[in-house]
Amino acid sequence: MEILAPDGYEGVWHVYHREDEGFYILEGEMMFHVGQQTIKAGPGSYLFGPRDVPHTYTGDSGPARLLFIFTPAGMEGFIRESSEPARSLSVPPSSEGPPDPAMMKQLGALANKYGAEILGAPPTQ
């Protein structure tokens, strides 16, 4: 799955219990947190997030374009259900402020449906 992340994007700290996740950076720079490791990655980098290990990423210098690779398949259903179609072929703006608690609760329930957990804010660097 191809992802466009605006500069400064912060993902949520989460864990998949059914899938491993690979990240291939096409453009931009990202800071990844996988378990206890923090890794800065740029174009051409590949990172691996094994199942049952919490992980997230932040846009360090972007916008960034990357591929998510889920093995086995299944998590794309969560992405599809929790997303909305792009309105244009451009990187969306970063959201301002903390995530909406009601939206995070709804996202957490949907993640559970797909064997995943939303753990909260990314770890501090």
**Amino acid letter, residue 99:** P
Q: What is the mean pLDDT of residues 67-96?
A: 84
pLDDT at position 123 is 66
Residue 17 inside a domain? The answer is yes
pLDDT at 68 over 60: yes
The CATH number covering residue 74 comes to 2.60.120.10
| 6 in a structural domain | yes
Question: What is the count of structural domains for the chain?
Answer: 1
Closest-CA residue to 99 (of 49, 65, 56)? 56
In order, the DSSP letters of 55-83 are EEEEEEEEEEEEEEEEESS-HHHHHHHH-
Query: Residue 27 pLDDT more than 90?
Result: yes
Alpha helices by DSSP H, the chain: 75-82, 101-113
| pTM of the model as a whole | 0.83
Q: Among all chains, which residue has been given the structure tokens 């792009």?
A: 86
- Residue 117 sits at the vertex; the CA angle it makes with 114 and 123, to the nearest 5 degrees, is 145
Domain boundaries, position 50:
2-120
Q: Name the pLDDT band for 24 (thresholds 50, 70, 90).
A: very high
Asked if the structure places residue 110 within a domain, the reply is yes
125 in any annotated domain: no
Residue 10: pLDDT above 60? yes
